[in-house]
């Protein structure tokens, strides 16, 4: 009985600090104030995105060289990477081109996308689609084509006009987004 009581006290002593840390408001790991910045593939690649991601019951490899993102001044992130979706059905493969992770709500085409992990794609007829991990459409917005872009790359983030506005490109196709209020 004494041994059991001692073990219970020891367990409580060890677990109490962990419980307190979960009770506090969480902040991003790199929450040091800084400037908003575009993150190139070298900063996202396999540093933020794993080598493989889960989507619609399968695992797909991430193309580390085709990643990018935005780091906000408070340390929160929005980032994406192209995936190899060759193992998916034609219907999903047409829509699922990249994996998007946003730590904050973002607004795309007047619609708010809550924080999460999503499959995204640029479709024919200037459409952009965001899907949950089960491949269900969560958001659809109009995309645009940047015919002035000199050297399109498979995936990139750039600053757009106006403070806090960004573009997510897939080749010449893009959508603009900003952090939702």
Residue 4 lies inside a defined structural domain of this protein: no
Between the alpha carbon of residue 4 and those of residues 11, 15, 130, 136, 149, the distances in Å are 11, 16, 52, 50, 70
Residue 113 lies in domain: 37-179
Q: What's the CA gap between 16 and 36, in Å, rounded?
A: 36
Question: Would you give the DSSP letter of residue 26?
Answer: P
68 in a domain, yes or no?
A: yes
pLDDT band at 2 (very low <50, low <70, confident <90, very high): low
Strand bridging mode 156-159 / 165-170: antiparallel
Determine, yes or no, domain membership for 16. no
Q: Does 158 fall in a domain?
A: yes
| Residue 21, domain member (yes or no) | no
- Specify the pLDDT at position 34: 81
Q: Look at residue 12 and tell me whether its pLDDT is greater than 70.
A: no
- Residue 3 covered by a domain: no
Look-up of token digits 């958001």: 139
The total of structural domains in the chain comes to: 1
151 inside domain? yes
pLDDT for res 4: 46
Q: For residue range 138-166, list pLDDT tens digits in order.
A: 999 999 999 999 999 999 999 999 999 99
pLDDT exceeds cutoff 90 at 88:
yes
Distance CA 32, CA 60 (A): 33
């Amino acid at each position: 009985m004494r041994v059991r009581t001692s073990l219970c006290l020891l367990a409580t002593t060890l677990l109490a600090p962990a419980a307190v840390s979960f009770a506090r408001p969480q902040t991003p790991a790199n929450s040091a104030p800084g400037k908003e910045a575009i993150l190139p593939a070298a900063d996202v690649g396999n540093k933020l995105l794993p080598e493989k991601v889960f989507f619609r019951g399968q695992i797909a490899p991430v193309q580390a060289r085709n990643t990018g993102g935005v780091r906000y001044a408070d340390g929160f992130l929005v980032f994406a990477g192209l995936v190899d979706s060759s193992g998916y059905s034609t219907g999903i493969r047409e829509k699922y081109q990249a994996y998007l992770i946003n730590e904050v709500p973002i607004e795309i085409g007047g619609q708010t996308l809550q924080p999460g992990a999503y499959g995204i794609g640029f479709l024919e007829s200037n459409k952009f689609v965001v899907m949950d991990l089960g491949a269900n459409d969560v958001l659809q917005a109009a995309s645009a084509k940047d015919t002035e872009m000199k050297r399109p790359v498979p995936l990139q983030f750039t600053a757009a006009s106006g403070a806090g506005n960004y573009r997510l490109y897939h080749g010449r196709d893009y959508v603009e987004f900003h952090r939702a209020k």
